[in-house]
């Protein structure tokens, strides 16, 4: 039940803060393996290719779970599905910690299997984020809101990087997974206590609900979830409809490219700092935190700038595309790291690239702006499916590109930089006008 009508509240800011915290923990779980990687290489006798395969294990199941999770979100609501997700990935983190009791010959296989399960458990996180923002925020505030939760991919490094850099040398690489597991249960408790549907939140005022609704917020999207009268949107007919839209296909391709940069930073970047730049684990943790902080600042500024352009009268298309293009151009500067041995200059270039990646990461804002009202969860799942295929390809491709004899990352940085240029091509040439789609109703009984 809402708070009194004469009281103005801003509960939507509490909601986006919870999305940021939950997403930070999700990425923190992924980053833990990256910081543990150098120690695991020595203990488990892994070469770069095998380590890349281990990094990719999470994403195989994460990608496979996107469409089902999008359908589950549309059918059962964001709070329930997301909350269960937090509990499950926390259990998986604890299980990785228990691999210390597994025979050494089986540790690699055990961790890979657990990471698959963790990837499946975390698949509702970002489709859920996009869905909750579409419900809780008017259109003119979505860029900032999406930028805040999207900044979690950077915050995971500056929040958890120094912590893992201290834990691993002191207590071994499994200790960071123990920490993430127990902290995850605390997060799950907070989620159930603080997150609700818009009209069901005990603290929200009628004034805030009306403000959200007038501004284009889909305040009833979760109230319909679970209704027997509602057809199940998890159908191949719905997927087919979405894939027929050129604008969405361009957005999907762009997200694959942008996510390639993300997975370089959260998988191989700490290894790059240790192996190619000869930093200690602790120093690499603080260095990664610095660049990630730049990415976080860029992410928030990108969303705020996009919303400011929209409020100034620029078209939705211009307001969303301009920061994406500018950010990706800045990301290309990482290639220049191949031409300097000066650590300070390398860190400056990587910080600029990370800032640009954050500034241009508006994909979830665009999805909140364009998704058909009846297929928000499914479209978010499909969008994240395409994006996180990069979570499979990037660690493996970089594993092959890293020179086994010299540890050189030169070709890997060129690969990632060129992918940023491809993102620009996709948004400029393929996407076209950005607008909300109106689709024909999805027929019931479509193939699942």
Residue spans per domain, the chain:
11-219+231-431
Residue 291 in contact with residue 153, Cβ under 8 Å?
no
Of 201, 174, 150, 167, residue with least CA distance to 22? 150
The answer to whether residue 447 scores a pLDDT higher than 60 is: no
The answer to whether residue 321 scores a pLDDT higher than 90 is: yes
Q: What is the mean pLDDT of residues 100-118?
A: 80
Residue 53 in contact with residue 41, Cβ under 8 Å?
no
| Element at 240 (helix H, strand E) | helix 236-243
Of 371, 82, 78, residue with least CA distance to 226? 78
Q: Is the dihedral of CA 25, 362, 54, 283 positive or negative?
A: negative
For residue 228, give every residue at least 6 positions away whose Cβ sits within 8 Å of its Cβ, in sequence order, or none. Answer: none
Residues 414-429 pLDDT 10s:
999 999 999 999 999 9
For residue 8, give every residue at least 6 positions away whose Cβ sits within 8 Å of its Cβ, in sequence order, or none. Answer: 205, 207, 208
* φ/ψ bin of 3: left (φ > 0), alpha (ψ from -120 to 50), beta (otherwise): beta
Rounded alpha-carbon distances, angstroms, from residue 332 to 351, 357, 421, 431: 12, 9, 7, 21
Band of pLDDT at residue 188, cut at 50, 70 and 90? very high
Q: What is the mean pLDDT of residues 83-87?
A: 93
Structure confidence at residue 121 (pLDDT) = 92
The answer to whether residue 231 scores a pLDDT higher than 50 is: no
Structure confidence at residue 197 (pLDDT) = 82
Structure confidence at residue 403 (pLDDT) = 65
Q: Per the structure block, which two tokens stand in for 80?
A: 């329930």
Give the integer Cα–Cα distance in Å for 148 and 85: 20
Structure confidence at residue 285 (pLDDT) = 77
The average confidence (pLDDT) of the chain is: 82
Band of pLDDT at residue 107, cut at 50, 70 and 90? confident
Q: What is the mean pLDDT of residues 301-314?
A: 87
Structure confidence at residue 4 (pLDDT) = 47
Measured torsion, CA atoms of residues 111, 115, 116, 120, in degrees rounded to the nearest 10: 160
- Count other C-beta atoms under 10 Å from residue 373's C-beta: 13
Four-way CATH pick for 11-219+231-431: 3.40.50.2300, 3.40.30.10, 2.30.42.10, 1.20.1250.20 = 1.20.1250.20
The answer to whether residue 444 scores a pLDDT higher than 50 is: no
Q: What is the mean pLDDT of residues 209-236?
A: 61
Pick the most confident of 41-55, 71-85, 96-110.
71-85
- Exposure of 45 by Cβ count < 10 A (0-12 exposed, 13-18 middle, 19+ buried)? exposed
Band of pLDDT at residue 165, cut at 50, 70 and 90? confident
The answer to whether residue 431 scores a pLDDT higher than 80 is: yes
């Amino acid at each position: 039940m809402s708070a009194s009508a004469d009281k103005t509240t801003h509960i939507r800011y509490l909601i986006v803060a919870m999305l940021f915290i939950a997403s930070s923990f999700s990425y923190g779980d992924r980053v833990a393996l990256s910081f543990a990687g150098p120690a695991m290489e020595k203990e488990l006798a892994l070469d770069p290719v095998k380590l890349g395969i281990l990094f990719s294990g999470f994403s195989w199941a994460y990608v496979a779970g996107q469409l089902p999770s999008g359908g589950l979100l549309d059918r059962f609501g964001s709070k329930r599905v997301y909350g269960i997700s937090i509990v499950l990935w926390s259990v998986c983190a604890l299980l990785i910690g228990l691999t210390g009791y597994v025979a050494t010959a089986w540790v690699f296989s055990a961790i890979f299997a657990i990471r698959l399960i963790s990837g499946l458990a975390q698949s509702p996180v970002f489709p859920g984020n996009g869905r909750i923002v579409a419900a809780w925020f008017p259109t003119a505030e979505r860029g900032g809101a999406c930028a805040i939760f999207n900044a979690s991919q950077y915050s995971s490094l500056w929040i958890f990087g120094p912590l893992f850099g201290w834990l691993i040398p002191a207590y071994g690489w499994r200790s960071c997974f123990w920490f993430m597991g127990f902290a995850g249960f605390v997060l799950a408790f907070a989620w159930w206590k603080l997150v609700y549907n818009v009209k069901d939140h005990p603290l929200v005022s009628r004034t805030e609900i009306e403000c959200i609704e007038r501004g284009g917020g889909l305040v009833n999207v979760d109230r319909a979830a679970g209704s027997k009268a509602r057809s199940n949107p998890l159908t191949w007919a719905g997927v087919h409809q979405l894939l027929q839209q050129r604008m969405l296909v361009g957005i999907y391709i762009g997200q694959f490219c942008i996510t390639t940069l993300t997975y370089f930073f959260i998988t191989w970047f700490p290894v790059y700092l240790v192996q190619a730049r000869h930093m200690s684990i602790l120093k690499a943790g603080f260095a990664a935190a610095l660049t990630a902080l730049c990415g976080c600042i860029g992410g928030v500024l990108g969303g705020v700038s996009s919303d400011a352009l929209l409020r100034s009268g620029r078209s939705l298309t211009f307001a969303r595309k301009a920061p994406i293009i500018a950010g990706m151009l800045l990301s290309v500067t990482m290639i220049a790291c191949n031409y300097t041995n000066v650590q300070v200059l390398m860190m400056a270039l990587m910080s600029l690239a990370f800032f640009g990646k954050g500034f241009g990461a508006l994909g979830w804002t665009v999805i909140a702006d364009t998704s058909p009202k009846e297929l928000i969860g499914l479209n978010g799942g499909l969008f994240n499916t395409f994006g996180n295929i990069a979570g499979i390809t990037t660690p493996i491709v970089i594993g092959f590109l890293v020179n086994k004899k010299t540890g050189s990352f030169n070709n890997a940085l060129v690969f990632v930089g060129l992918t940023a240029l491809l993102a620009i091509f996709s948004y400029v040439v393929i996407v076209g006008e950005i607008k909300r789609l109106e689709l024909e109703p999805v027929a019931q009984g479509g193939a699942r």
